[in-house]
Chain A
Amino acid sequence: MSKEGGGYKKFYLLGTDYVFPRTANKILRAFLVAKGVPADSIAEEYTPFNHQDYQTIVGKIKRFSQGGSACVLSTINGDSNVPFYKEFANQGLRSENAPIMAYSVAEDELRGMDSSALVGHLAAWNYFQSVETANNKKFVQAFKAYAKKQNLPGGDKRVTDDPMEAAYFGVYIWKQAVEKAKSFDVDPVRKAVYGQTFAAPSGTIKMHEYNQHTYRPVLIGEILKDGQFRIVSRTKGLVEPEPWSKYTSPDKGCDWINHQGTYQKKA
Chain B
Amino acid sequence: MISRLTVLLSLVAWLAAGAASHAAAAPTPSPKVAAALTDLTGDDADKREAAVTVIGQTRDPKWIQFLSALRDGSVYTRARSGKTELVVGGTKATKGDQDVIDIASAYEREPLGTVPLTDLKEVPADRRLRLTIKPFLDADETQAQLADPDPNVRRGAAVKLGNQAVATAAPVVEEALKKESDRWVRHALAEALALIQLANGTPAQRAAAARSLGDLHSESAMPSLQRLAADTAASPAERAAAVMAIRGIERWGLLTRTVETLFQGASLASILLLMALGLAVVFGLMGVINMAHGELMALGAYSTFVVQNWFRAAWPSHFDSYFLVALPVSFLVAAAVGLVLERGVIRFLYGRPLETLLLTWGASLIIQQGLRLWFGAANVDVSSPSWLSGGVPVMVGLTLPYNRVFIIGLATAAVAAMYWLLFRTNAGLRIRAVTQNRAMSSCLGVRAGVVDATTFAFGAGLAGLAGCALTQIGNVGPSLGQNYIVDSFMVVVTGGVGKLAGTILASAGLGGLTKGIEPALGAVFGKVAILVGVILFLQRRPAGLFATRGRNAEA
Contact = CB atoms under 8 A, between A and B. Distances in A.
B523 A46 contact: yes
Interface in A201-253: 224-225, 230
A52 interface: yes
State the main secondary structure of chain A at its contact with B. Answer: loop
Given A66-B222, A67-B223, A46 B475 contact: no
B156 A94 contact: yes
Interface string B384-398: 100001110100000
Given A59-B264, A67-B163, A90 B524 contact: no
Interface stretch (A114-122, A177-185, A189-197): A114-122
Contacts of B403: 86, 90
B527 A48 contact: yes
B266 to A, nearest CB: 11
A3 B130 CA distance: 10
Interface string B1-32: 11000000000000000000000000000000
Contacts of B2: 225
Interface residues of A, number: 50
B1 A119 contact: yes
Given A56-B518, A91-B401, A111-B378, A83 B268 contact: no
B324 interface: no
B379 interface: yes
Interface in A121-163: 137, 152-154
Given A79-B474, A224-B1, A108 B134 contact: no
A188 interface: no
Contact of B381 (A48, A66, A94, A112): A112
Contacts of B389: 89-90, 116-117
A56 B519 contact: yes
A68 interface: yes
A52 B130 contact: no
Given A67-B220, A83-B473, A114-B382, A92 B152 contact: yes
B399 interface: yes
A95 to B, nearest CB: 9
Interface string A92-105: 10101100000000
State the main secondary structure of chain B at its contact with A. Answer: helix
A219 to B, nearest CB: 13
Given A82-B475, A97-B159, 17 more contacts: A3-B131, A47-B523, A53-B514, A56-B515, A59-B264, A63-B219, A67-B220, A67-B221, A68-B164, A69-B163, A82-B474, A90-B402, A96-B160, A111-B378, A116-B384, A119-B1, A120-B1
Interface of B: 1-2, 72, 94, 127, 130-131, 134, 145, 152, 155-157, 159-160, 162-164, 219-224, 253, 257, 260, 264, 267-268, 271, 375-384, 389-391, 393, 399, 401-404, 472-477, 483, 514-515, 518-519, 522-524, 527
Q: Please name the 10 residue pairs, one residue from A and one from B, whose CB atoms are nearest each other, closest first.
A: A68-B163, A153-B376, A112-B379, A90-B401, A79-B475, A47-B523, A55-B264, A92-B399, A114-B383, A66-B220
